[in-house]
Amino acid sequence: MPAYVHINLRVIDSARQAALAPRFQAALREAGGRILHFGPVAQVLEGDEAPLPMAGVFEFPTLAQALAFYNSEKYAPIKAERREAQQARMFVVETG
C-alpha cells in the first residue's frame, strides 16, 4: 500500500535550502519516492493553528520504504542539513 510523507515547513536559510534540494530529490528518487506536491500553502480551511507557509507530499510504494528512506544513512546528512535550513513538521500516512 502506498505511503505519503507530509511536510509543512518554513525556510529559515534559503541558501542551505537551495543547496540541499537537489540532493534530497535525488535521494528520494533513489529510495523509490516521488514528489507529488511542494509549494506554498494556498489557504487554511480549518483549524486554529496556522500552518507554516510551505507544504509537500512525497509518495512511496510502501510504508516500509518511506521509513527506510527517512532512517537511512544516505538521508541522515541531508536530514541534518534540512533541520538547519527549515523549521518543519513531518508525518507519514499509509493508505488502505
Angle, CA 48 vertex, CA 2 and CA 4 arms, to 5°: 10
% residues pLDDT > 70 (the chain): 100
The Cα–Cα gap between 13 and 10 comes to 9
* Exposed / middle / buried, residue 50 (Cβ in 10 Å: 0-12, 13-18, 19+): exposed
The reported pTM is 0.92
For residues 49-66, give the mean pLDDT: 96
Give yes or no for a contact between 37 and 8, defined as CB atoms under 8 angstroms apart.
Answer: no
Give yes or no for a contact between 6 and 66, defined as CB atoms under 8 angstroms apart.
Answer: no
pLDDT > 90? residue 96: no
The Cα–Cα gap between 94 and 13 comes to 31
What order of strands is seen across the sheet that includes strand 3-11? 34-40, 54-60, 3-11, 86-94
% residues pLDDT > 90 (the chain): 96
pLDDT > 90? residue 79: yes
